Amino acid sequence: MDYDTPLFFHVMQYAAAADRDVIDLVSGGPDWEPPTALREGLREYADAEPAEFQYPPSDGLRALREEVAARRGVDVDRVVITNGAGEANYLAMAGALERDAGSEILLTDPVYPYYPGKARMLGYDATLVPVAEDGGLDVAAMREAANEETAAILINSPNNPTGAVYGADTMRAMVDLADDHDALLISDEVYDHYDFSGRFESALSFESDHAVVTNSYSKSMAVTGLRVGYGIFPHHLADAARTRHMLVNVTGARPSQAAVLRALRETGPEYYEASRDLLRERIDAFTDALDVAGAEYVVPEGAFYVFARFEGFPGTLSNVERLVDEAGVACMPGDTFGSYDEWVRFALVSPRAEEAARRLADYDGF
């Protein structure tokens, strides 16, 4: 796996340069509307006083941190507002390594590629632990892999790319595993609003000084460009996370945080349910088309990706480019996500997702 090469951008650029119409199912940027209150908040902010365009507190607007803390049932001093969940994961990974409790990080295989990329940047020894056949976390395999050098365990539920959702038993086991090995569990819960199974459980449900929860409004509010996320750190790691955040970023963007705060206060559950309904329809239509195409796939319990395999059509970059050229569908090669070089990932965040499904069903290159 070459994490120095941004394959997401390579595939998107290849698709954009194609001499035919291509449906982009590469990256996870939602195509649906953000909350109305968020748009209104941004419009009103444009007329704010000059002082409102200056640096906010480095760890985030106090009111936003309080809102997050209240919703997650934690002390506000544990909350750091970050530039998306990506930065929150970085802060947690760095904090785990700085404890001098080992140099290894456990990751699932398949894995969101930015996790091992950050791990290598920070100097970790990354160990990829295969998931179960249904795409869920293999608790026994994670236990077997953990050792005295394990400094961090990073998990993601609902999962990118498999769509697996980790229930209470699995999350409890991961919290216990971190406690038992003096490791830091980093639970990336950025897709928590896209749980179709009803089984999602947050790591915050279990008391532990060895757990960090990261999240973002990029996916849940369909605003990947606003870059508002957060980390919830144990008290003994929160100050170090604030310091690193300040040194790397100085602070975040005040207008983005203010708009997200307004949306949190004024957006009801029906907004999120409408997004889930849309995705359920897309997943059903897409997997029906995959059945016609004879594909094997993991039925997603959450998030908005479908991880699939076509017999005799390995998920290599060259085959992904073939799909662009011959079927007019762009997706991600499986080896981007670990050792799954027979698989490809489709992000169902396009109004043309069902059309893409029909193109795949009609494609005779599989």
pLDDT digits (tens, 9 = 90+) for 252-298: 999 999 999 999 999 999 999 999 999 999 999 999 999 999 999 99
pTM: 0.96
Provide the token pair at 303: 């998030």
- In CATH, 7-34+270-362 is 3.30.1330.60: no
pLDDT-based confidence at 6, cuts 50/70/90?
low
pLDDT the model gives residue 198:
97
Q: What is the pLDDT of residue 307?
A: 97
Pairing label, strands 343-347, 104-109: unpaired
Query: What is the DSSP secondary structure assignment for residue 21, as one 8-state letter?
Result: -
Q: Could you confirm whether domain 36-266 is CATH 3.40.50.300?
A: no
| CA-based torsion, 89, 91, 94, 95: positive or negative | negative
Residue 216 and residue 190 in contact, taking contact as beta carbons nearer than 8 Å: yes
293-317: average pLDDT: 95
> In the predicted model, is pLDDT for residue 174 greater than 90?
yes
pLDDT score at 297: 96
Please check whether residue 192 is in contact with residue 215, taking contact to mean a CB–CB distance below 8 angstroms: yes
Taking 60 as the threshold, does the pLDDT of residue 1 lie above it?
no
DSSP labels, 62-103: HHHHHHHHHHHTS-GGGEEEESHHHHHHHHHHHHHHHTTS-S
Contacts of 277 (CB under 8 A, 6+ apart): none
Q: Report the mean per-residue pLDDT for the chain.
A: 96
pLDDT of residue 4: 59
pLDDT band for position 8 (50/70/90)?
Answer: confident
| Dist. CA 313–CA 112, nearest whole Å | 22
Q: 94 is written with which tokens?
A: 């760095």
Domain boundaries of the chain, sorted by first residue: 7-34+270-362, 36-266
Of 54, 58, 57, 56, nearest to 241 by C-alpha is 58
pLDDT at 149 (0 to 100): 97
Centre a 10 Å sphere on the Cβ of residue 311 and count the other Cβ atoms it contains.
10
Residue of 63, 110, 71, 81 lying closest to 202 (CA atoms): 71
Model confidence over 69-116: pLDDT tens digits? 999 999 999 999 999 999 999 999 999 999 999 999 999 999 999 999
**Residues above pLDDT 70, as percent of the chain:** 98
Which pLDDT does position 179 carry in this prediction?
98
Residue of 296, 237, 228 whose CA lies nearest to 263:
228
Instruction: Map residue 31 onto helix, strand or coil.
Output: coil
Q: Which two tokens stand for residue 305?
A: 């990706």
Q: For 34-78, what is each residue's pLDDT tens digit?
A: 999 999 999 999 999 999 999 999 999 999 999 999 999 999 999
User: Around Cβ 294, how many Cβ atoms within 10 Å?
Assistant: 11
What are the angstrom distances between the C-alpha of 241 and each of 90, 190, 249, 324?
Answer: 10, 19, 12, 42
CA–CA dist 362, 366 (Å, integer): 10
**H-type helices in the chain, by residue range?**
7-16, 36-45, 62-72, 84-98, 114-122, 139-145, 168-180, 235-249, 254-266, 269-292, 317-322, 353-362
Of the pLDDT bands very low, low, confident and very high (cuts 50, 70, 90), residue 7 is confident
The mean pLDDT value for 322-336 works out to 96
Q: Are 96 and 293 a contacting pair, CB within 8 Å?
A: no
- Cα–Cα distance, 94 to 331 (Å, whole number): 31
With a CB cutoff of 8 Å and minimum separation 6, the contacts of 284 are none
State the Cα–Cα distance between residues 364 and 354, nearest whole angstrom: 18
* Model pLDDT, residue 239: 98
pLDDT at 366: 86
